[in-house]
Structure 1
Amino acid sequence: MVLEECGIPVYEYKPAQVKIVLTGYGKADKTQIARMLAAQVKLPEGKLDVHALDAIAIAVCHARSRQFSRAAAH
């Protein structure tokens, strides 16, 4: 991948991983995920499409995973 060739790390998360991090339930639906995102993150005004919500959910999952990894390393 081009990103890896440039030294930029690439992370992948399975949908169930993202759902567990956000909702605590690996089979959460889009409505549950959107509700938990709104409770945890200040989202922009107006309706976001499902792709934007997915991207934000993955970003939150990544941030939390990195926090956990750093905490576990200490």
Structure 2
Amino acid sequence: MKILGIDPGSIVTGYGVVEKRQERYIDIRHGEIKIKRGSLFTAALEKVYNELFSIVAEEKPDAVAIENIFYGKNIKSLIKQGHVRGVAILAGSKHHLPVFEYTPLEIKKAVVGYGRAEKIQVQKMVQVIMNFSELPSEDASDAIAVAICHINHRKNDPM
């Protein structure tokens, strides 16, 4: 099972393609799509869409897993994050992939074992699970965690 995990953000969108072989998680590819401050938001959305669309085309995951919007105080940021989620979902669905959504609580619980874990705890667990020599970036780590969460939730039902 190969999953593209996405952590959508209006400035940085993390992605991670993770495959599970036997009992090991394999890092296929991970990184961040960074938007230059001051860019037109429409250009930012287009960049996120194009890069994720290309990643899906190149890596051919079985499904896309994306972090759902969480409650926040800044409504404008949440709306922008919603738009980024939309283009990320579209990038997967244009390739006819199923798209699954997980809350931050579900993701943290699946990776750390505790739904209220701090970001650094998620990063460190992703480092251990994926056997990385260095701590992955925060956004890429979150995206990898989303992929791991999906794999763990779909052990007996891959899609």
Fold in common (TM above 0.5): yes
* Higher strand proportion (structure 1 or 2): 2
1:42 corresponds to which residue? 131
Gaps of 5+ in 1: none
* Higher helix proportion (structure 1 or 2): 1
CA RMSD of aligned residues (A): 2.0
Structure 1 Cα separation of the partners of residues 126 and 92 of structure 2 = 28
Structure 2 Cα separation of the partners of residues 26 and 38 of structure 1 = 18
Which of the numbers 127, 150, 155 marks the counterpart of 1:62?
A: 150
2:98 corresponds to which residue? 9
Which letter does structure 2 place at the counterpart of 1:53? S
Structure (1 or 2) with the larger CA radius of gyration: 2
Q: Deviations over 1:23-58 (max 9, x none)?
A: 111100011111212222222x44532111111111
Gaps of 5+ in 2: 1-89
Pair 1:57–1:67, CA change in 2 (3 A): same
Structure 2 length-normalised TM: 0.38
Q: Alignment length, in residue pairs?
A: 69
Query: How high is the sequence identity, in percent, across the aligned residues?
Result: 32
Pair 1:46–1:15, CA change in 2 (3 A): same
Tell which has more relative contact order, 1 or 2 (C-alpha 8 A, sep 6+): 2
